[in-house]
């Protein structure tokens, strides 16, 4: 995938019209953003229907991030996997552009999104390589005006202008994930993720600041994707690996695979809109 040179609206339109030529790309219910461990993704996806985008070898912007959309099935469920993501620090802090793949997934029918990332630990009880389920987020660039929703509200994509970020990580999916991790005897932490703009890492004083405001892990991605998913009325579940993506990737994908197997049927937009009081 290469981010389009034009704005995010044209990017969505162009991508959808390119994909619409083929029935293979239609009607997906679930989606997974899994930036690293491309090989792990391809192990989890049991049948690959199609792939679009650049080869892993051609993606040199952030190490380990491929640039592909993979269309396939996991335990019989049709899933789009985004292997690699656009980080705001790579794209002049254009957060709408970086979240554009979520709008593409929305247009292809996706109703449940599983997001993963790698992050640094802030919570002192976390160990290198732990998995954390995100229960809430602190979107620092968003608080400073770098939101993917600034600018014109494009009604073609539906969803509210003012998006509620309460319960942005679906409670039922979190309960299910914890239950599955428990059954698999996996250590799974839960906490709050804070996103900075990066790409510099934090000073010790900044880590203390994040700790003081209740963060458990920190990174440079994801929050803008979650905001757009919420506007698209998707249910979101989010797992991250504390600073050891390669070491623990296998464990994470085992959990994701088991989760996808047990995911409840997706809710329609109308149902989530009603549930969330829109």
Indicate whether 122 belongs to the interface with ligand LQZ7MJT6 (CB under 6 A): no
Cβ atoms 12, 107 nearer than 8 A: yes
| Helix H or strand E encompassing 254 | helix 245-262
Indicate whether 85 belongs to the interface with ligand LQZ7MJT6 (CB under 6 A): yes
Residue 8: which of 140, 157, 141 has the closest Cα? 157
Radius of gyration of the chain (CA): 17
What does 87 interact with, of ligand GUN, ligand LQZ7MJT6, none (CB < 5 to 8 A by kind)?
ligand LQZ7MJT6
Q: How many residues does the chain have?
A: 278
**Using CB under 6 A as the criterion, what x/- string covers residues 107-146 for binding ligand GUN?**
-----------xxx--------------------------
Exposed e or buried b per residue across 106-117, where buried means at least 16 C-beta atoms within 10 angstroms of its C-beta: bbbbbbbbbbbb
Residue 33: which of 95, 105, 96, 89 has the closest Cα? 105
Pick the binder of ligand GUN from 198, 250, 257, 276 (CB under 6 A): 198
**Using CB under 6 A as the criterion, what x/- string covers residues 203-242 for binding ligand GUN?**
---------------xxx----------------------
Q: Given the complex with ligand LQZ7MJT6, which of 19 and 220 has the nearer CB atom?
A: 220
- Gap between the Cα atoms of 58 and 66, Å rounded: 8
For ligand GUN, the binding residues (CB under 6 A) are 118-120, 196, 198, 201-202, 218-220, 243
Give the footprint of ligand LQZ7MJT6 on this chain (CB under 6 A): 35, 62, 85, 87, 117-118, 198, 219-222
């Amino acid at each position: 995938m290469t981010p389009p040179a034009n704005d995010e609206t044209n990017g969505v339109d162009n991508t959808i019209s390119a994909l619409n030529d083929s029935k293979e790309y239609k009607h997906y219910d679930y989606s997974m953003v899994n930036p690293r461990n491309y090989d792990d993704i391809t192990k989890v996806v049991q049948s690959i229907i199609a792939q679009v985008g650049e080869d892993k070898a051609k993606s040199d912007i952030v190490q380990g991030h491929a640039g592909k959309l993979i269309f396939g099935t996991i335990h019989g469920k049709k899933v789009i996997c985004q292997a690699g993501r656009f980080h705001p620090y790579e794209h002049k802090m254009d957060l709408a552009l970086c979240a554009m793949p979520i709008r593409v997934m929305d247009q292809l029918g996706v109703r449940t999104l599983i997001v993963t990332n790698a992050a640094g630990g802030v919570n002192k009880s976390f160990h290198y390589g732990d998995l954390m389920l995100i229960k809430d987020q602190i979107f620092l660039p968003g608080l400073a005006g770098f939101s993917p929703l600034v600018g014109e509200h494009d009604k073609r994509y539906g969803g509210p202008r003012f998006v509620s970020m309460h319960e942005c990580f679906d409670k039922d999916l979190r309960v299910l994930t914890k239950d599955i991790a428990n059954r698999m005897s996996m250590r799974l932490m839960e906490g709050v993720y804070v996103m900075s703009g990066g790409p510099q890492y934090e000073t010790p004083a900044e880590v203390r600041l994040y700790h003081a405001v209740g963060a458990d892990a920190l990174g440079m991605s994801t929050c803008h994707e979650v905001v757009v998913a919420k506007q698209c009325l998707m249910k979101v579940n989010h797992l991250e690996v504390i600073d050891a993506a390669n070491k623990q990737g296998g464990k994470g994908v085992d959990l994701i695979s088991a989760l996808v197997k047990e995911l409840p049927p997706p809710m329609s937009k109308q149902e989530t809109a009603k549930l969330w009081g829109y």
